[in-house]
Structure 1
Amino acid sequence: MKKTPLLNIALSRLIASLGHGDIVMIVDAGMPVPPGVELIDLALTQGTPDLVSVLRVVLTEMQVESHVLAEEMLLKQPPALVVIEGLSLQGELGQQRLVSHDELKTLSRKARAIVRTGECQPYTNIALVAGVTF
């Protein structure tokens, strides 16, 4: 059995297969998933699991070079934003880039996979860009 906290097979496989610059998105329950992009659907019910819980576990295995948020997230200020800002200050998320929500949806077409959570706060989505450990 694995020693790290991440037990989900599909998510663990995804992270193990990432190369430098690959994009993984962790999104709320309402974010559309473009055709052809892998969906790892973790949503069970409204709010479960929340985006922060999924993000924290993903960060135990994924090296992140940078992240992308929608500008609307900063305006709406969902609860997850405080945690994301804290993780960013700790250096866990690399450099931040802000785009419009529509641009984030366009970026999702380039994602290796989209991880859907049960998060139901508007604009609570993050794109993680894979880094390298060397």
Structure 2
Amino acid sequence: MKRGVLLNSEISAVIASMGHTDSLTIGDAGLPIPENTKRIDLAVSRGIPSFIEVLSAVLNELCIERIILAEEIRNNNAAGLDDILTMIADYEASSGFKPAMSFIPHKEFKKLNANSKAIIRTGEVLPYANIILFSGVAF
């Protein structure tokens, strides 16, 4: 059995297969997932698992170079954005990597996530609880 924080075999396999600049999306329960993009569906019920729990586990495994969020999160889910920013600050402190962060319109976000290696669907029901993580290199 794997010793680390992330135990999900599908997510672990996707992260292990990622190269520099490949992306992985973590989304809320309502984020549309394009038909040709790998779906890792973790949603059990409303809020389970939460977006932030899944993000925490992924940040323990993935070297991150860049992050994209929907700009609408600023006005529609400020508490969720604060949680994300806290987690990214913790990631930076523990990893020594400082990913660039940008905000784009949600409409563009939904188009861009089609290029992800996979989209992880959580049970999150808070608005705009979605993130695209771009892989960096750990050296």
- TM superposition score normalised by structure 1: 0.95
In 1, the alpha carbon distance for the partners of 2:41 and 2:98 equals 22
- Map of 1:57-68 to 2, 5 A cutoff? 57-68=57-68
In 1, the alpha carbon distance for the partners of 2:110 and 2:74 equals 16
In 2, the alpha carbon distance for the partners of 1:86 and 1:119 equals 18
Cα contact 2:77–2:126 (8 A) shared by 1 = no
More displaced stretch, 70-79 vs 37-46: 70-79
Give the aligned length. Answer: 134
Distance 1:10 1:110, change over 3 A: same
What corresponds to 1:3 in structure 2? 3
What corresponds to 1:36 in structure 2? 36
What is the aligned-residue identity percentage? 40
- RMSD (Å) for aligned C-alpha atoms: 1.3
- Map of 1:1-134 to 2, 5 A cutoff? 1-90=1-90, 91=92, 94-134=99-139
In 2, the alpha carbon distance for the partners of 1:74 and 1:116 equals 21
**TM-superposed deviation, 1:78:** 4.6
Moved over 4 A (4+): none
